[in-house]
Amino acid sequence: MGSAGPGLTARIKHEGKNWDIIEYCHRMGLGAAHSNLPADLNPEGIAKIRRQLNQYDMRATMLVRTPRTDADLPRYEASIKALSEMDGRVECAHDPFSGRRYEQFKSAEEFHRFDADCKAAVRRAEPILRKYKMPLAIENHKGWRSDELAAWVRSTGSEYIGVCLDLVNNVSLIETPQQTIDTLFPYTIFVSFKDIGVDFYEDGILLSEVAFGEGHLDLAGIVSRMQKKNPRMLFQLEMLTRDPLKVPVFTDQYWRVYDERSPAPARDLALLVQWIRQHPPRKPLPRTSGLTTEAQLALEDKLNQQCIDYARANLPTLA
């Protein structure tokens, strides 16, 4: 399975025209990959992915856009059918659905319309997922607070609908990482695995992925808890290398996307501010401004390797 273990996979930012994420993960000694099907669903490209996964004894999660309209259903079914024919190597389809709620929408009503469309897409997809016995993992991708996402998954009543649990994204929606993990744990299919560095700036919070062990998450404890739920749980390394994300929680615009139907309790903001004060950055947050493209890629490769080395040394249950 590779020396980094069967449970560790990667989601790499710098995909180019000829980038092959499965080959990259194999070279890094990982046991799985997060990938896409060919854009045109050509049989040769699909067969290549199946061949690679079998040759390297790897698993995968696959990004597949859920059908937003009935016209999308034939392509969606063809995609899910292809995933189901990967000799059991594909764990789930994955869809993040949203961007950053506080940037993507200008009002709560605009968000609610989007929310209704996304829920309709999942209802449209569920019979296909059930037909091919392929789970869908909805990511908490800075769109829904964890209680909202958990309620959405429960409302489907489907064993094939669950969550890709990003450990830190919901800090941007005024939740501590532990609050997010506790709420979404029962529905988790796989984990977007990262460590976190946080700080303040004039308008709000700075949020960064940092190398494993340089942040404030109990990574070993999270692995242990998740593997008690599912011994084959995948942990997807997501070491995004960029300037810190600015989350403007101290501005009026940020709060316009919440209302009585989707409240953001003030108590949660107080708890998050307290948590950030208690967990200042261990070192300056990573930045890429001013670096050439080549230097940015080199830094990302370095940080990915640092995370993998940490996992090998400190997360033996992944080995």
Which CATH number does the domain housing residue 70 bear?
A: 3.20.20.150
* Residue-wise pLDDT tens digits, 183-239: 999 999 999 999 999 999 999 999 999 999 999 999 999 999 999 999 999 999 998
* Residue-wise pLDDT tens digits, 59-116: 999 999 999 999 999 999 999 999 999 999 999 999 999 999 999 999 999 999 999 9
Task: Please report, in angstroms and rounded to a whole number, the separation of the first and last CA atoms in the chain.
Answer: 9
- Residue with structure tokens 């669903």? 41
Q: Residues, the chain, total?
A: 319
Structural domain containing residue 44: 8-318
List the structure tokens of 88. 């059991």
Domain count, the chain: 1
Is the residue at 222 inside a domain? Answer: yes
Number of Cβ within a 10 Å radius of residue 269? 15
pLDDT at 302 over 50: yes
- Check residue 264 and give its pLDDT: 81
pLDDT at 298 over 70: yes
* Residue-wise pLDDT tens digits, 140-149: 999 999 999 9
Alpha-carbon gap, residue 234 to 81, rounded angstroms: 22
196, β-bridge pairs: 209
Is the residue at 135 inside a domain? Answer: yes
Lowest mean pLDDT among 12-16, 37-41, 122-126: 12-16
**C-beta pairs of 47-54 under 8 Å, 24+ apart in sequence:** 49/22, 49/86, 50/85, 50/86, 50/87, 50/89, 52/22, 52/23, 52/26, 53/22, 53/86, 53/87, 53/89, 53/90, 54/87, 54/89
* Residue-wise pLDDT tens digits, 147-156: 999 999 999 9
Is the residue at 3 inside a domain? Answer: no
pLDDT (mean) for 303-316: 91
Q: Helix axis angle, 146-156 relative to 108-132, nearest 10°? A: 40
Record the pTM: 0.93
- Check residue 240 and give its pLDDT: 87
